[in-house]
Amino acid sequence: MALNARLDHRNPLVFDTHELGRRPGALQRLTREIDAPKDLGIQGVIGVPEGAPVGLELRLESVMEGVLVTGTARAKAEGECVRCLEPLELELDADFQEMFSYPDADDRGRPKAEPADDAEEDEDRLFIEDGLFDLEPVLRDAVVLALPMQPVCQDDCPGLCSQCGARLADDPDHHHDAVDIRWAALQGLAGSLEDGEKDEMSGAEAGVDEKQEK
Ligand SMILES: [Zn+2]
Ligand SMILES: [Zn+2]
């Protein structure tokens, strides 16, 4: 798919290898700050907001069959704690390494693989087109891998109170004296049972009430 769409050198995630050249062993280091593309991260969980700055450091190395790109992306990711739902931010530091092949690499000495293997391999391979390569799929994969699937605001976040939804980390001694009317009614009932009617109740019902009181 990407092979047919021409790369645009004005796209900030498209890099030019002309300066590097095709002599194996040639090296080039690049830094670039880009605006985060849409949906960079794990959707609905945590990600880099669209337009937020992403710092890229790249090292391009010319090899026989293409350009080996090694790099790091740094950005701030935003999401929310899966336990207490509080917004959180984390410094993202995503490393990547990817080979971008020359489209004609196969014709330049690489032994042809078995047809089946070749087709499979080609789907994952990234290519250089007219001396340009598109870092976007590599950046996306690296960012997803570097982000937590279940981000928490702190490792021991106690989450939310199951009764009132308060954030327990803000109030570690948080507890409820039964103030809810329904609870008060139950407590009154339990109290009257204890005052002597208990023996007349069936064992099962008394058991339920005792459980709820705790
Ligand atoms: Zn939390
Ligand atoms: Zn509570």
What are the backbone dihedrals phi and psi of residue 88, each rounded to the nearest 5 degrees, phi first?
Answer: -140, 160
Q: Taking the model in full, what pTM does it have?
A: 0.72
Query: How remote is the CA of residue 26 from the centroid of ligand 1, in Å?
Result: 48
pLDDT of residue 211: 46
Query: How remote is the CA of residue 207 from the centroid of ligand 2, in Å?
Result: 25
The token pair at 88 is 């959180």
pLDDT tens for each residue of 35-46: 999 999 999 999
Helices (H), the chain: 115-124, 136-146, 181-194, 203-213
The token pair at 200 is 């007349």
pLDDT of residue 193: 62
Q: Give the DSSP letter string of 67-114.
A: EEEEEEEEEEEEEE-TTT--EEEEEEEEEEEEEEE-TTGGGTTPPPPP
Query: How remote is the CA of residue 87 from the centroid of ligand 2, in Å?
Result: 20
Tell me which residues have their CB within 5 A of the ion that is ligand 1. 81, 83-84, 153, 157
- Among 2, 13, 32, 12, CA closest to 139: 13
Q: Tell me the C-alpha to C-alpha distance, in Å, between residue 191 and each of 98, 112, 187, 210.
A: 71, 85, 6, 10
